[in-house]
């Protein structure tokens, strides 16, 4: 009896995931066709744009990001706004070093028309420091900027990153666009491989359920000036997952753009840090996005697949299921990366990834506090959703 139930259960669950990957492939194909059609239009009028970069602490990629931003190929007018957590923040040294090395007349002039650097001088009691920095940036926006882009310090962007963002966001009815992260794992670190495999599924679910990613994001100016988004940020944990409802109220929609997928540099990460990181990623969806219950049900079914098989020694059925999952992972990697780095590593770390995904989903469901960059936040299920309870000394 249990064998028949289990085999039926994993078959149905696998078919659902297969359908998701098919839909993901269709979305990729349609988006790239749209992108190619836009590229043929030469009469497009580039709007004024503004890029917001919020910094707290040092990131080894920050200097490279600033160089990439300074070399953006954008035919319109744009400016860069940097909000630094404090005057003592270590990221300020990198920003100053970049300015010192790019103020030499013999070097190419940065492509932005203006650079504005400000600091988060007022420490909030509610909402995250990231959200507070964004609200500070909104108050500083140039009145001519009609498309606002956001980028994280660890993003490795191309020279036409801003052009792709702005053009995508300027399409009729579109209020926000984003790409997603992609971990191109080339190390032997277990945590790095588990994070990479988790991201395959996260990319799929975020695309299907329209969950934006703030690491490379753009919104129309009216989303900030006329929408409820700033109100959400006042007691929010992050900027991206809470975008959908404000867009709907403005009769605008969010669109995922596969050409804006950002490859993150491979970094080693231990399992404890990875568990905390995954919990925070899932927690932002729980707090701000209506599809949280569907994401949690996916993790619950993943847990049941493993638990029932282990408790009843259904090893052959589990093996067949995991081989099917491997096929889906390879499919997604071909879709994004155009090649497979290591089938052996993918198969080796599928089950550890599924276990950690299940554990962190349950953690995010019951979490009442979370630590992010040394700051501890209390999480509530009613307003204010996020309150700061401890700053690092």
Average pLDDT of adjacent 10-residue blocks, the chain of 393 residues: 94 97 96 86 89 93 94 95 95 92 69 94 92 96 96 92 95 95 87 95 96 96 94 93 94 96 83 95 94 97 97 96 96 91 92 97 95 92 88 77
Catalogue all structural domains in the chain, each as residue range(s) with its CATH number: 2-390 (3.90.550.10)
Contact criterion met (CB below 8 Å) for 27 and 256: yes
158 vs 155: CA distance, rounded Å = 10
Phi, psi of 372 (to 5 degrees): -145, 115
Q: Output the pTM of the full model.
A: 0.94
Q: What separation, in Å, do the N-terminal and C-terminal C-alpha atoms of the chain show?
A: 58
pLDDT digits (tens, 9 = 90+) for 299-331: 999 999 999 999 999 999 999 999 999 999 999
C-beta pairs of 328-332 under 8 Å, 24+ apart in sequence: 328/17, 328/18, 328/21, 328/200, 329/197, 329/200, 331/21, 331/25, 332/21, 332/24, 332/200, 332/203, 332/204
pLDDT digits (tens, 9 = 90+) for 155-208: 899 999 999 999 999 999 999 999 999 988 878 899 999 999 999 999 999 999
Polymer length of the chain:
393
């Amino acid at each position: 009896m249990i064998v028949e139930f289990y085999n039926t259960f994993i078959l149905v669950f696998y078919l659902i995931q297969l359908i998701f990957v098919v839909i993901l492939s269709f979305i990729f194909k349609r988006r790239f066709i749209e992108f190619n059609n836009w590229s043929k239009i030469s009469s497009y009028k580039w709007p004024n744009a503004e890029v917001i970069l919020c910094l707290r602490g040092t990131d080894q990629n920050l200097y490279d990001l600033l160089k990439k931003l300074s070399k953006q190929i954008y035919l319109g007018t744009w400016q860069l706004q940097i909000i630094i957590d404090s005057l003592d923040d270590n990221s300020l040294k990198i920003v100053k070093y970049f300015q010192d090395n790019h103020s030499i007349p013999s070097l190419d002039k940065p492509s932005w028309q203006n650079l504005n650097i400000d600091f988060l001088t007022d420490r909030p009691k509610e909402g995250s420091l990231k959200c507070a920095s964004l609200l500070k940036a909104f108050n500083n926006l140039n009145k001519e900027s009609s498309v606002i882009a956001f980028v994280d310090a660890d993003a490795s962007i191309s020279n036409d990153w801003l052009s792709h963002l702005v053009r995508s966001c300027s399409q009729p009815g579109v209020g926000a666009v984003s790409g997603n992260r992609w971990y191109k794992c080339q190390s032997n670190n277990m945590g790095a491989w588990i994070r990479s495999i988790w991201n395959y599924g996260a990319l799929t679910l975020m695309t299907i359920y329209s969950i934006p990613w703030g690491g490379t994001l753009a919104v129309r100016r009216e989303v900030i000036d006329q929408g409820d988004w700033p109100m959400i940020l006042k007691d929010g944990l992050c900027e991206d997952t809470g975008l959908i409802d404000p867009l709907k109220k403005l009769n605008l929609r969010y669109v995922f753009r596969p050409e804006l997928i950002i490859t993150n540099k491979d970094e080693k990460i231990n399992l404890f840090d990875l568990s905390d990181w995954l919990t925070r990623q899932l927690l932002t969806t729980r707090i701000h996005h209506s599809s949280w219950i569907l994401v949690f049900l996916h993790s619950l079914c993943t847990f049941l697949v493993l638990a029932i098989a282990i408790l009843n020694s259904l090893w052959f059925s589990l093996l067949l299921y995991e081989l099917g999952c491997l096929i889906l992972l390879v499919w997604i990697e071909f879709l994004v990366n155009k090649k497979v780095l290591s089938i052996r590593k993918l198969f080796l770390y599928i089950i550890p990834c599924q276990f950690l995904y299940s554990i962190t989903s349950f953690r995010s469901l019951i979490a009442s506090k979370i630590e992010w960059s040394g700051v501890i936040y209390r999480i509530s299920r009613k307003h204010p959703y996020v309150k700061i309870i401890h700053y690092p000394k």
